[in-house]
Structure 1
C-alpha cells in the first residue's frame, strides 16, 4: 500500500531590508526623547513626596493647626470658621469656637503628627493628622464639628443622623460662610480627583 505525501512548496527566505538612515535617526531621536522624559519625571517626583511633620500643636481653629513653622489645613474636612455663628433651639451660638474646642479636646495636649504633600492656595500643607492613634480628621467629622470636604462622607452621615455638633441645629456650610463674609474664593474639595489633578500639575509644572 503506497501513500502519497503532499509537500508544501518551500518559501524562499527573503532577508529583511536594512532600515534607512532616516528611519534610524527617527528611532534614535524617539529613544532620546523617552529617556529625557523619564529623567524629568524622576527629578520631579520629589514635588509629590509625602512630607511628615510632628510636634506640639497650636490649634488655630477647628481644622487648622500649626506644628513648629508648618501651618496645616486638615485634609478632607471643613470646620466652621472661628468667628462663625450657627443656630440651635432658636438662638445663635459660636459654633466656630466650639469646633476649635472640640479639636483641643481630641488632641488633649498629646504630640500631633501630620502627613501630606498637597498645599492649599494659602500655602498650608493639606495634612492627615493624628494624636497618638486617634485620626483627628475623621474624629472631627464624627463629633459633628466639621463637615466632609472630599472625604469622610460616611462619618458625616452618621454625625448628621445623630445630630452631633453643628448638626443639632442649623448652619451655613463653612465654605459658603467664608464666601459671603470674607469674600474669599471658594476652596475646592480635597478629594481623590483633586489629588490626581494636583499630582499631574506638580509633575509637569516648570
Structure 2
C-alpha cells in the first residue's frame, strides 16, 4: 500500500512540475511572453532580437526584430494562454510550450516564418521551419541573420566598442543606420563608443577618413 501511495505522489508531483503558467498574454518580444504574470521563454524557437536588423548583400536593411515583435503582439496580446514548463533558463524565465485556443504558439510562429527552430535545444519544429524556408515565408523571404548569430555578433561588437580588436591603425567605425545611411565615426566623437560594428550587416572599419569617404560613407555630425 505504501508503495502505491508513493507512486501516486510521484505521479502527482511530476504533473505539478510539468504544469506551467496560464493566463493573459503580454508580449515582451518575439519569443518571450508574460503569461499570467510569469515571464516565459518559448521552448524550441528563436526569434530575432527587438533591435535586430535584417538585409545586406543588396537587400536594404530593415528592422526585422521590431516587425516580428509587433506581429506576435498583434496575434497574441491579451489572449488567454496555457503553458507547460520544460525548464528554467539562466535568467530565471520559465522555458515553456504554450498554447492559445489549443494551438502551439511556437509552432505557429515557425510556420509563419516569424521564428526559427532552436535546434540546439529541441527538434520539435525542425520540419515546420524547413517548409517555411522552402516556401520563402516571412523572414525566409528576406535577408536574415539567425538570432543566435546576431547575438554572438553583438557580444563581439561590445568587446570592440572602443576600438579594441580593430585592424591595426584602422579605428574608424563605418556604421549603417536603420535607414540604410552609411555613416562613419572617428575616435572622440559623441557616439563612437556606443557604435557597434557588424560585418554581417556590411559595416566595417576604416583606416582613414579618405578611405571611408571613397567607399561612400559620410562623417557623423557629432
Q: Is the 8 A contact 1:103 1:136 kept in 2?
A: no
Gaps of 5+ in 1: 1-37, 185-206
Deviation at 1:65, TM superposition (A): 0.2
Distance in 2 of aligned mates of 1:175 and 1:90? 21
Taking the TM superposition and a 5 Å limit, the aligned residue runs for 1:1-206 are: 49-87=17-55, 90-107=59-76, 109-149=78-118, 150=122, 151-182=124-155
Partner-residue secondary structure (3-state), 2:72: helix
Runs of 4+ aligned structure 1 residues displaced above 6 Å come to none
What TM-score, normalized to structure 1?
0.63
Distance in 1 of aligned mates of 2:138 and 2:15? 37
Gaps of 5+ in 2: 1-5, 158-222
Partner-residue secondary structure (3-state), 1:117: strand
Q: Is the 8 A contact 1:128 1:137 kept in 2?
A: yes
Distance in 2 of aligned mates of 1:117 and 1:48? 12
Partner-residue secondary structure (3-state), 2:88: coil
More strand by share: 2
Deviation at 1:59, TM superposition (A): 0.2
Distance in 1 of aligned mates of 2:96 and 2:41? 6
CA 1:117/1:152 → structure 2, altered by over 3 Å: closer, same or farther? closer
What TM-score, normalized to structure 2?
0.58
Compute the RMSD of aligned alpha carbons.
Answer: 2.6
More helix by share: 1
The structure whose RCO (Cα within 8 Å, separation 6+) is larger is 1
Matched residue pairs, number? 145
Aligned to 1:198: none
Deviation at 1:46, TM superposition (A): 5.5
Q: Is the 8 A contact 2:43 2:95 kept in 1?
A: yes
CA 1:117/1:48 → structure 2, altered by over 3 Å: closer, same or farther? farther
Distance in 2 of aligned mates of 1:63 and 1:182? 20
